[in-house]
Amino acid sequence: MTKRASDVSGSPPRRRSTYTLAPLVLIAANVVLFALFFVWPAVIGLVYSFTNYTGVGAFQFVGLDNYHNLFGDSAFYDALTRTLLYAVLFVPLNFAVSLLIANVLVSKHAKGTSVARIIFFIPWLLSPIVVGVLWRWLFGENFGLVNYFVEKLGGHAIPWQSNADLSLLVVVMAASWAWTGFSMLLFIAAIKNVPVSYYEAASLDGAGPWRQFFSITLPSIAPTSFIVILLNTINAMKEYPVFVSLNNGGPGTSNNLLVQYIYQTGFQRGQIGYASAASFVLMLILMAVAIIQLIVNRRVENR
């Protein structure tokens, strides 16, 4: 394989698009894995979405019934809008905080970065169930630390759990806290790749830290910023475990996001067909979001 690839590329350089074998060799392993562990099961799932499969035994094809029912269910739209709201809140917050932290950690001026780094990293290692108990300890309505101080200072307990919007806000904060480690790692690697000479040139020109950040760091790490935004958007729209452990989609069902909706109305009631249909709709929504972001990103890059 390698030999043949090099034969092609061994000839004088051509335009990039003329290489076929080399890229094919490079992606071969992932193509095989993709076909085996994504396409194959996804096709099975897609077939289920047109049936009334319950997880056991035989099933009948029901055409587009599952999709039809899904689009007729108002709970689905509630979940969808709540999911979009969550993503809109979570992605920018996580982006800003992680980028700030990564910058401070890389800065040569800050002292004690090695200890601080562990503090920022640990939340990402915690299982959702532990994140849940930690944030309930902070924002529990009845016995939480924040309300403890609010009441000590003479205020009224804030309904962190029984008010739907505050409850969502707590999850946004908790999730940003927990996901910082991930985004921060990507940012650190990207910032370390920015050539130091750029900063030196800017320093000589008398640019302060803010100018340097906006005119050097931010443009140079743009490709990584794009990863963080796109992946965090997808992850946010699939968020489920943190909600389960923090407020169980509550109060009531007001903070049920799409995956929880799929899980509760589909899998837990043995409606695998319906759950599969909803999952593929979610996938289409995410695909649309991703493609829009890719197009916007290309426009920005080419500007």
Partner 1 sequence: MTTTDTPRRIDADPGRPVSKKRSRGASSGGLRRAVPATTLLWILACLYGLPVLWFILSSFKPAGDLFSYPLTMVPHHPTLSGYLTAWRSANFSQYFINTTLVCVITTILTVGASCCTGYALAKYDNKWLKAFFICILATTMLPGEVMLAPEFLVVRNLGLYNSFAGVILPAVLTATGCFMFRQFFLTVPDELVEAARIDGARELSIFLRIMVPLSRPIMLTLAILSFQWRWNDYIWPLLMLNDPDKFTVQIGIQSIVGAQNINWSVLLGASVISMIPLIVIFLVFQRYVMGADINAGLKD
Partner 2 sequence: MTTVGVRRSRRLGRGGMRRLVPLAAVASAGALLLSACGSGSGSGGTAKSLTFWISTVPGQDAGWKKLVAQYKKETGVNVKLVNIPYDGYPTKLHNAAQANSLPDVADVPALDPIWSNKLIDLSSIANNKSYNINGNFLAKDTSGKVLSIPSDVTASGLYINKTLFKKAGVAVPTSPSNTWTWDEFIAAANKVREKTGAKYSLTFDQSPSRLRAMVYEMGGQYVHADSSGKFSVDAATKKAVKYFVGLNDDKVMPKSVWTSGADPSALFQSGDVVAYWSGVWQVASFADSIKKFDWASVPTPAQPVQASDVNSGGMMVGFNNNSDAATAAKKFMSWVYDPKQYTELVESSGFLPVESGLSPKYPFTSEAAQAAFKLYNEEIPLYAPISGYFNNAQTAWVLKGKSLTTDPTKTELGKAINGQQSADKALQNIVDGYNQQVGG
The binder of 52, among partner 2, partner 1, none, by C-beta within 5 to 8 A per type, is none
Nearest distance in Å: CB 253, partner 2: 6
232 binds, among partner 1, partner 2, none (CB under 5 to 8 A by kind): none
Residue from the set 254, 285, 289, 293 that interacts with partner 2 by CB under 8 A: 254
Q: Cα-Cα-Cα-Cα dihedral of 116, 228, 182, 195, to 10°?
A: -50
Q: Which stretch binds partner 2 (CB under 8 A): 61-69, 107-115, 140-148, 274-282?
A: 140-148
Residue with tokens 């100018």: 211
Nearer to partner 2, 179 or 261 (CB): 261
φ, ψ dihedrals at 61, nearest 5°: -75, 135
Site for partner 1 in 34-63 (CB under 8 A): 34, 36-38, 40-42, 44-45, 48, 55
Kindly tell me which residue out of 80, 106, 164, 166 binds partner 1, with binding defined by CB under 8 A.
106
DSSP string covering 49-84, please?
TTB---SSS---B-TTHHHHHHHT-HHHHHHHHHHH
Min dist. Cβ of residue 57 to partner 1 (A): 14
By CB under 8 A, which span of 9-17, 57-65, 66-74, 162-170 interacts with partner 1? 9-17
Token pair for 146: 């924040």
* Both tokens assigned to 26: 């490079």
Alpha carbons 122 and 178: distance in angstroms, whole number: 8
Which residues are paired to 61 by β-bridges? 51
Binding test (CB under 8 A) with partner 1, winner from 50, 76, 160, 177? 177
59: partner contacted, choices partner 1, partner 2, none (Cβ within 5-8 A by kind): none
| Separation of alpha carbons 236 and 240, rounded Å | 9
What does the DSSP 8-state code read for residue 61? Answer: B
CB 172 within 8 A of CB 89: yes
Tokens of 40: 């194959």
Binding site for partner 2 (CB under 8 A): 2, 28-29, 32-33, 55-57, 133, 136, 140-143, 161-162, 167, 244-248, 250-254, 264, 267-270
